[in-house]
Amino acid sequence: MSARTSPPSKPLTDRIRPNHPPYGLADYERHGGYQGLRAALKMSPQDVTALMKSAGLRGRGGAGFPTGVKWSLVPMGENAPKQKYIIANGDEMEPGTFKDRLLLEGDPLQFIEGITIGGYAIGASIGYVFLRAEYVEAARALRKAIQECYARNRLGRNILGSDFHFDLYLHTSAGRYICGEETALINSLEGKRAIPRAKPPFPATSGLFGKPTVVNNIETLCNVPHIVHYGAEWFRGLSKGKDGGTKIYGASGKLRRPGAWELPMGTTVREILEDHAGGLRAGLKLRGFLPGGASTDFLTAEHLDVPMDFDSIAKAGSRMGTGMMIVLDDQTDVIGMVRNLERFFARESCGWCTPCRDGLPWVEKILASLEAGQGRPEDLTILRQMTRLLGPGRTFCAHAPGAMEPLQSALGHFRLDFERAAARSAAVAGGRP
């Protein structure tokens, strides 16, 4: 049983030991593991879902949708479909984001316990882990942990002597960014082309193989055992704001100590970048940052004291997304940085709708011309038009609108960089024979 005498302040990383393999089942339980599942099995599924609502757990994959609300949308009761599914989205292809990898490589049993509780809460007997194919170490750790859980009755039939049956399968994907969209993920898992589905119906009523399905992010599910074990009030108390719990925040770029850290939800941007990432390298100054991965709007130095929570970042003009920041310094060409991001998004378009399929390569081509000094003054007008034409409501899913966020904000915050590039291109063209 647990050797812990008090709840952890950093529950997600409490059992992760750098440069050491993850705990096996015996050590995991000695350090508090499976107390959450044991408690959940003594509750009704509806009470587990209500606990998630009370805790204020919001999805950690980017959208921040309340987890308890998502679970409550699944049909329950005698008239509900008997077969249901829960899927963990571990495709993690958002540029600059590596939090789920940290959790799966360091403490896979925490995740397995979390998805098992999630399956119990929605009445699902089967779970899938949809994992990015490049995450070889995470897959190895998961396979070993799943095998041990089956051998020790933490997966399979009559788990821990209860009436609950739950099977968990690991699926390594072919690797496409669009699989971060839950219905595209479901299509891929069914062996179909990874394109988003029309909604409604929503996955909660008709998802994998037409059955009720919940898709949750890896980090989201890792919070679940701790909430059940220690309670909603404890979870809310970990946060600095109204969103409950801690968050795996990260930062990449020309920083002294780039990385990822578990901190209270609502920790300020300044604390993350200066105290934990060590600030920018010598001689560099901050120009801006993408607060939640590549598909979020730039914020600038004036936003350093904004809390990193969903509502505060939204009020500042961006999205918290995955909470993994990408930093822009004063010696990095902003046009080159944005072009690199747009090239990624263009390559990862599923090709289903015309604005995304044809618009994103066009955007990348214009940015490449500006960067190379071969653009035209009218290119800036076209880029502004593209941020509207590829924006929300103009495409089948949120891929292209997300790709437009760094571009539209760069055109606003760093307008002079784009104007100088266009003027430089015009001067070069004017000097040609």
The pLDDT score that the predictor gives to residue 428 is: 61
Judged against a pLDDT cut of 90, whether residue 424 lies above it is answered with no
Give the model confidence (pLDDT) of 82-96 as tens digits.
Answer: 999 999 999 998 888
Give the model confidence (pLDDT) of 333-372 as tens digits.
Answer: 999 999 999 999 999 999 889 999 999 999 999 999 999 9
205 — pLDDT class (breaks 50, 70, 90) = very high
The pair phi, psi for residue 202, each rounded to 5°, is -90, 155
In the block, residue with structure tokens 């990822």: 260
The tokens describing 320, both together, are 């918290």
Q: Are strands 286-290 and 324-329 parallel, antiparallel or unpaired?
A: antiparallel
Contact 97, 258 (CB under 8 A): no
In the block, residue with structure tokens 């919001």: 58
Query: By C-alpha distance, which of 96, 323, 89, 73 is closest to 215?
Result: 89
The pLDDT score that the predictor gives to residue 406 is: 97
The pLDDT score that the predictor gives to residue 423 is: 87
Give the model confidence (pLDDT) of 289-344 as tens digits.
Answer: 999 999 999 999 999 999 999 999 999 999 999 999 999 999 999 999 999 999 99
Total-model pTM: 0.93
Of 29-38, 60-69, 418-427, which gets the smallest average pLDDT?
Answer: 418-427
Selected residue with higher pLDDT from 423 and 137: 137
The tokens describing 378, both together, are 């009218």
327 forms beta bridges with 289
Whether omega before 201 lies within 30 degrees of 0, making that bond cis, reads: yes
Judged against a pLDDT cut of 50, whether residue 281 lies above it is answered with yes
Give the model confidence (pLDDT) of 214-240 as tens digits.
Answer: 999 999 999 999 999 999 999 999 999
The pLDDT score that the predictor gives to residue 429 is: 58
Distance CA(124)–CA(254), nearest Å, equals: 44
pLDDT, average across residues 26-36: 96
Q: What is the dihedral of CA 111, 73, 130, 169, to 10 degrees?
A: 70
Domains, the chain, ordered by start: 25-237 (3.40.50.11540), 246-329 (3.10.20.600), 334-430 (1.20.1440.230)
The pLDDT score that the predictor gives to residue 433 is: 47
Contacts of 40 (CB under 8 A, 6+ apart): 48, 117, 120, 121, 228
The pair phi, psi for residue 69, each rounded to 5°, is -65, -45
Judged against a pLDDT cut of 70, whether residue 5 lies above it is answered with no
The pLDDT score that the predictor gives to residue 93 is: 87
Q: Are strands 126-131 and 85-90 parallel, antiparallel or unpaired?
A: parallel
Mean pLDDT, the chain, integer? 94
Radius of gyration of the chain (CA): 23
Give the model confidence (pLDDT) of 40-50 as tens digits.
Answer: 999 999 999 99
2 — pLDDT class (breaks 50, 70, 90) = very low
Judged against a pLDDT cut of 80, whether residue 37 lies above it is answered with yes
Judged against a pLDDT cut of 60, whether residue 169 lies above it is answered with yes
